[in-house]
Structure 1
Amino acid sequence: MADTQSVSSKIDMIKVDGGRNTSTSISLPLVVSIVALVIAVIGLILAAASLTQNANNTFVIGETGSSAGNTGAQTDGINDDDDRIWVVAIGHAAESLEYIDELSGQIEGFDVDIVNAVCRIAGKNCRFSADVYTRCWDSQVGEAQRGGVGLYSGFYDACTGWFHTYLRDRTFQFSDPFSTIEGEKVGFFVKPGNPRNFTYQDISGKKIGFLDGYSSDESCVARQDIQGVPIPPENVIHYLDREQLVAGIQNEEVDAGFDPVVYLKDSDMVEVIPGFTAQCAIAGQSMMMRKDNTMWEWWNPAFAKLRASTEYKRICRDLLEQHGHFPGPSPEEHCFDY
């Protein structure tokens, strides 16, 4: 009868040595140690991958403090802490509401001034996270519009300066608006001289350009009392920024662009079609956040205090005096009670 050996003390292994199979034995504790080491290495690799993924968040800090990681972003929407960091995303469009100052490298503008003032009044520790707009709200041609991965995933607590629309309201919640909707009146823009004979009364068969993720989208056009709506997907072209949209109009990639009038009304690259403006938003610029986020609870009363103060009027005045070297709405178009 063959000799039986306890598996608790020995494990038979086959070792390849110079092309020859040689029987040897390895103790069980050594095997367990090797397995544990392999698991630890895999864990380190996964952790490194996670850090690399989050490294895309670049934090640009305003007056409220020094740089910080995104550990302060809202995750459960329940716990509030005076020491926590509230992270707000802000874009980098070259307009008076938000732009990158060439000397300081910081993001400046009306939206930045509002956030800094409200956070100071509320006694909150706020930080800015510079990110592309589509990580707050995304719209792809022929697809349902949806919340951006940054706000969905909790990279930040809120996105700054987003107009309240019907579609966005189904997905996110909004603070009280800190601007009117007058600056969001939208129109059709064409190449100077209108060489393609575009008319807003009937846009059947016309290619229309839109800014990706903006409230002035194809669903807003579809609500207008004009012929040719809704626009079929093959006639919709999205652009990532206003410069690309203007180039598309200039190169006649599209028959017309659909954009807020205040940003292009003085441009010599395009001209607005007279006699038509649309209102795409149902409320002015607000803080847009996940529905489980509690930021609005302190933001709304703090903004109410700011609006009742002379500081709000100063911020509105600075929209023209400090930030007016970039295109954008006037204080009368954008601010309450101005």
Structure 2
Amino acid sequence: MKSPYLVGPPIRQSFDFFGRAGQTRQFFETLDGVQAQCVSILGLRRAGKTSFLRHVADPVVMAAHLPDAARYALLYVDLSACRNAADFYGRVGRRLLGLLSPRTAPGDAAPADVYAVESLLYELGERRVVLLLDEFDHLRAADFGGEFLTELRALASVWDYELAYVTASYWDLYRLGAFAGLPPTSPFYNIFYPTPIYLSSLGPAELDELIRVPARRVGIAADDEDVAAIRHIAGSLPFFVQATAAVWLGHKADAQRPTPAGVTPRLVSEMGPYFEQWWSCFSDVERSVLLAVAGERPVERLPYDEAEIRGAAARLRSYGVLADTGGHLWADSLLFSEWLRQSSRPQRFAANL
């Protein structure tokens, strides 16, 4: 069976993008205010942040949510491709030049500092320019300099043009700002809408559509039992749902009867590197909460303050790792639960508690 699921690359075509209707609506409501507002998109690795940014920048999607979509210019910039601030401003400059002169070639020289970019924004005073800043976590690794976030704030504060930022990251802006040397009282944070948009779990209807529609394209009928099994194994983050559906329905296409016990070990092994990335970013409290939940132990007995435990659990729910039913926490994904039980790093951490 030719797999109908996209497991790996960002979604490029709008018909391949499923779910996130609530986040999409929240995104455009924030963007379409009286004046431009900045917004933070938060999600785990493989939560679909890049796909979401490409989705909202699709002209068809924009036209469906914005009454004057032609006035908006949503420009995608991948910070992981930038070594420093000059790289960043050069990439932004090329995109702004492309708006002013569509014949501008990708390799043409572009301004590489904040002042030259500001000059181009003045020329685009009639447009509402929105920079979609993917991989914003890259600030932790690249040499942007301590003044970079202050420069971004200054650019967005000029009254003669409209500029907003959409940052996509795992780390929230305050933790990234602290890494860059910004104090909690920095005015940089003031330009952002106070509530971030989390790319968390898909809803039941969204997950159902994500599984069934691609399967139908290749002549496979995913029934209720298939959907329930894939949801139980994968959880509800799109990447893991698609990876699991590809294996599960692949067995079905080959006239085999898939079972959770038959496909889970393979998928735990394949998804392990992504879970390892998650684990490296979680705080000690978050790790402890996850191990307690996976081991079906009460989180209230963990050696942390009650507020710390409650905050960690809330973050993990927002990221789509944990679910809460009637006050009872449970792991959203059998794959991640199994990885927690099998992996050596979590076990070494648990031994030190």
Asked if these proteins are the same fold (TM beyond 0.5), I'd say no
TM range (shorter): under 0.3
TM-score normalised by length of structure 1:
0.24
TM-score normalised by length of structure 2:
0.23
Choose between structure 1 and 2: higher strand proportion. 1
Choose between structure 1 and 2: higher helix proportion. 2
